[in-house]
Amino acid sequence: MEGLTLNVAKSFLGKNVNLHLKDGSVIVNVRVDEIRRDALKGEVFVKCIPYGKAAALQIPLRNIAWVKLLNLNLIEAGGRQSS
């Protein structure tokens, strides 16, 4: 399975997404904060912050299969109930 490329990952910087990993798991509703290259290993990491949390996750780019962009307007509007 091919994976996410560096150029495509850069297009999601600052956006809320669902990350679909190659092992079949999904990391739901994270903001892509930074893309970082480890100089020693030559590996690229995607730093993301889960919605409403302060702690960040670092996921190797090679482990990400694809990314789905989220529309937060739909999520926030769905949470409000009118009386």
pLDDT in tens, 30-83: 999 999 998 888 899 999 999 888 899 999 999 999 999 998 776 665 555 554
DSSP assignment of 12-60: TTT-EEEEEETTS-EEEEEEEEEEEE-TTT--EEEEEEETT-S--EEEE
- State the CATH architecture for 6-79: Roll (2.30)
**At a CB cut-off of 8 Å and minimum separation 6, what does 81 contact?**
none
pLDDT for the residue 64: 95
**Residue 1 pLDDT > 60:** no
pTM: 0.79
